[in-house]
Amino acid sequence: MITCLIIDDEPFAREALNDQLKTYPDLQVIGQCSNAIEGMQAIGKLKPQLIFVDIQMPKISGLEMVAMLDPDSMPRVVFVTAFDEYAIKAFDNHAFDYLLKPVDEARLATTITRVRRDLHQQPLDAVLPTRLEHVPCYCGNRLKVINVDEVEFAFSDLSGIHVTTAQEQVHTHLTLKVLEEKTELVRCHKQYLVSPQAISEIVILENGAEVLTHSGKTIPVSRRFLKPLKQLFGFH
């Protein structure tokens, strides 16, 4: 059974595609999401093999959302759009396929055939945009989109991944690995990433160091990452 997720801010479009997918007995729709943040949460929780993603969505587009996914656990991505101009851009981002709205039955059948064939071969090597501009976050029942340049640091603990700005601390489903690879945040500790722009002071300690941010927060720096961090600012 191929598990899939539909992510589209238009409820009628989601239901129409869901009805079309019901005709494929080996395909199961395990969730529907109305925006990119819900989609990120559902992908992390449900681990679908295939996602159908609308390109134009508020706050975070489908293209941006796919760029935020961990390449090591990427589902197959089929972009769905009402605008043909986005088709080439979708393939520039190495989508598995794309569909134009309203979705043609024969074109959908071709896509499903390709998915079936590909899932019996090697995993898809997706080459995605290398930089993120936004971080999808949540705090309680609030969903937030934070600009990357507002992030002072991010860290992990037993409860998850946390993103801290000068004003607040929220949580994200992105991994530290993805944040390190696709933002300006740099590693300063096994469990911490810091924005160089947020650093006010580096305090050398006996067993490592601490970073003080411009907003007055303290971040640990392990000995392993102290030298490359100092070199960012011209210290040796």
* CA gyration radius, the chain: 20
CA pair distance 15, 12, nearest whole angstrom: 5
Q: What is the pLDDT of residues 179-210, one digit of tens each?
A: 998 899 999 999 999 999 999 999 998 878 99
First-to-last alpha carbon distance for the chain, in angstroms, is 56
Q: So what's the pLDDT on residue 88? A: 60
Q: So what's the pLDDT on residue 200? A: 94
Relative to beta strand 142-147, strand 151-157 is unpaired
Query: Quick check: 126 pLDDT over 80?
Result: no
Q: So what's the pLDDT on residue 139? A: 82
Amino acid 162 reads H
Q: Is the pTM of this model over 0.75?
A: no
Q: So what's the pLDDT on residue 92? A: 61
Residue 192 C-beta-side C-alpha neighbours within 13 Å: 20
- 84 burial level (CB within 10 Å; 0-12, 13-18, 19+): exposed
Q: So what's the pLDDT on residue 21? A: 96
Query: Quick check: 94 pLDDT over 90?
Result: no
pLDDT grade for 51, boundaries at 50, 70 and 90:
very high
Measure Cα distances from 45 to 11, 38, 135, 152, 227 in Å: 22, 11, 18, 27, 37
Q: So what's the pLDDT on residue 22? A: 93
Q: So what's the pLDDT on residue 111? A: 93
